[in-house]
Amino acid sequence: MNNKIKWLFGIVALLFLAACTPKTPTDLTQTSFIPQPASVTATGDAYKVSASTVIYFQAGVEGLEHTAVYLAGQLIEISGLTISVQAAEKVPSRGIYLEITGNDVELGNEGYELNIGKKLVTIKAGSEAGCFYGAQTLLQTLPVKAADGEALTIATGTARDYPEYAYRGTMLDVARHFFSVEDVKRVIDLLAVYKMNALHLHLSDDQGWRIEIKSWPMLTEIGGSTEVGGGEGGFYTQEDYAEIVDYAQERHITIIPEIDMPGHTNAALASYAELNCDGKARKLYTGTDVGFSTLCTDKDITYRFVEDVVSEIAALTPGPWFHVGGDESHVTAHDDYVYFVNRVQEIVVKYGKKIFGWDEIANANLVEGTTVQFWDDVENTTMGVEKGAKVLMSPSARAYLDMHYDSTSLLGLHWAGYIEVDHAYTWDPATLVEGVTKENILGVEAPLWTETITDMDELEYMVFPRLPGYAEIGWTAPALRDWETYKLRLADHGKRFEDLNIDFYRSALVPWGEY
């Protein structure tokens, strides 16, 4: 070969290599973060995560060690690299460092500052939760799955970030169809990725009672034995429930247990005859009607029952809230309903918990610290605000994860309308209901009712891709939210959903890539 041809070959080979080697990311502002952080600035360089990377945490802060181990676990999962965790007495010169600093007022309770330098990444926050969210932001700069053992690069820069609302959550109805502890853990993992911090578990309904109550064992023995459609149902033992609570706590997610009453109680009424006004046990129910059952509000045993249930669950629940349901009690007379909710509130307070209830509970005399969950009725909700309650925003026409996406959806219901991915995203909690402003709002929750949802594939299909949008509504200030740019970021998360094996709805409104 003459020299000229050799040169040509060389150049072609180089060009080929350049085209095939992934570009090193150097512009942090180009990362598709969800939720969008309050501010992101780029410094145009790259940090390399390799097998020698160490994750340091401020010595003596136990909660940070959890987050450091969690982050290392995620990085190992992504890359197959061996990443170690160590306590550090002072800021190291290289590696990834997690630190609690108490003096940044703007960051508040859950905010963080993530600094990605060429040699050192630091995550600083006022709380352990803040550091955890900083770690989630860091993880979103990386793919969910990379080639085994390959060093990873991250664009340098800074994210300073804090949430708009204190409560960002979802609800899972494990009563209509039962979901196992493993299933719930997967839901918790997915919530954590999007900085959600609350999981409300709807633990009882007409079709099933799903948590062991030691003083009333038939609730699960009988009431837990079936579900919608006649399947075998199931329930959590108290140990199972504690395991869920712990798993969630490690991811800074609070579990809110709900026992729905006085309506939605057929499973309890089938388990114990004495809870019925006529003293006769009801038959187990596996259909999907609502509003036909009620506890007997003028029997003493009803309140003994409620007290036993509340005390056992409250003892297993470190979070501040107990949800008393209170929705759709269509066969409870109004005065009986008000009397019942008033008495139940006293019981919940006695066991040290704050009350959550669906918006109907605003008809009672709300005790201080109560939160009314807006799902349907504006009048109830504004009445709750007038009585001093906070509001949790779960508008059924916008935030119900069981609503059809469009007229072709096979799963879900559509009584509150169709909720396409844009409709789920384009609303502001602070302006949706007249008379309910940001100051009144605790946060946002997207509930998944499971009359038609029987397994994890179906659950994921309804939850994704709407859930990241609800997470962003709860976290990101309205001025930084916009559907046109959000849908591009969401499209990038399609690859993440695939790599996490999430069975998601490929809405035609989102420009998903070819992965």
Catalytic residues, by residue number, are 328
Least distance (Å) between residue 42 CB and ligand TNX: 43
Least distance (Å) between residue 454 CB and ligand TNX: 14
Q: Is position 445 an interface residue for ligand TNX (rule: CB under 6 A)? A: no
Least distance (Å) between residue 327 CB and ligand TNX: 3
Candidate list 413, 432, 480, 500; residue touching ligand TNX; CB under 6 A: 413
Candidate list 42, 61, 88, 290; residue touching ligand TNX; CB under 6 A: 290
Candidate list 212, 402, 420, 460; residue touching ligand TNX; CB under 6 A: 402
> How far is Cα of residue 233 from the mean position of the Cα atoms in its chain?
24
Least distance (Å) between residue 207 CB and ligand TNX: 10
Q: Check if the beta carbon of residue 331 is closer than 8 Å to that of residue 263.
A: yes
Q: Is position 235 an interface residue for ligand TNX (rule: CB under 6 A)? A: no
Burial class (CB in 10 A: 0-12, 13-18, 19+), 289: exposed
Instruction: Name which of 164 and 328 has its Cβ closer to ligand TNX.
Output: 328
Instruction: Name which of 265 and 271 has its Cβ closer to ligand TNX.
Output: 265
> What is the rounded distance in angstroms from the CA atom of residue 32 to the CA atom of residue 311?
45
Instruction: Name which of 153 and 207 has its Cβ closer to ligand TNX.
Output: 207
Q: Is position 327 an interface residue for ligand TNX (rule: CB under 6 A)? A: yes
Q: Is the peptide bond before 320 cis (omega within 30 degrees of 0)?
A: no
Candidate list 99, 212, 328, 472; residue touching ligand TNX; CB under 6 A: 328
Return the DSSP state at 267.
H
Q: Is the peptide bond before 257 cis (omega within 30 degrees of 0)?
A: no
Q: Is the peptide bond before 465 cis (omega within 30 degrees of 0)?
A: yes
Q: Check if the beta carbon of residue 76 is closer than 8 Å to that of residue 83.
A: yes
> Which residues, other chains included, contact 251 with Cβ-Cβ below 8 Å and sequence gap of 6+?
70, 132, 188, 189, 191, 192
Site for ligand TNX in 147-186 (CB under 6 A): none
- Report the relative pairing of strands 441-448 and 390-393 from DSSP bridges: parallel
Candidate list 97, 356, 449, 497; residue touching ligand TNX; CB under 6 A: 449
> What is the rounded distance in angstroms from the CA atom of residue 112 to the CA atom of residue 123?
7
Kindly write out the interface string for residues 335-364 of this chain, putting x where it contacts ligand TNX by CB under 6 A and - elsewhere.
-----------------------x------
Place of tokens 């219901």: 413
Helix (H, G, I), strand (E, B) or coil at 374: strand
Instruction: Name which of 116 and 393 has its Cβ closer to ligand TNX.
Output: 393
Helix and strand numbers (H, E) in the chain are: 16, 17
The tokens for 508 are 């035609």
Least distance (Å) between residue 330 CB and ligand TNX: 11
Instruction: Name which of 282 and 404 has its Cβ closer to ligand TNX.
Output: 404
Instruction: Name which of 395 and 468 has its Cβ closer to ligand TNX.
Output: 395
Helix (H, G, I), strand (E, B) or coil at 446: strand
Least distance (Å) between residue 413 CB and ligand TNX: 5
Q: Is position 375 an interface residue for ligand TNX (rule: CB under 6 A)? A: yes
Q: Is position 258 an interface residue for ligand TNX (rule: CB under 6 A)? A: no
The tokens for 352 are 């040290």
Instruction: Name which of 205 and 472 has its Cβ closer to ligand TNX.
Output: 205
* Residues contacting ligand TNX: total by CB under 6 A: 10
Least distance (Å) between residue 375 CB and ligand TNX: 5
> What is the rounded distance in angstroms from the CA atom of residue 226 to the CA atom of residue 252?
32
> What is the rounded distance in angstroms from the CA atom of residue 213 to the CA atom of residue 500?
35
The tokens for 426 are 């384009």
Interface positions with ligand TNX (CB under 6 A): 290, 327-328, 358, 375, 400, 402, 413, 449, 451
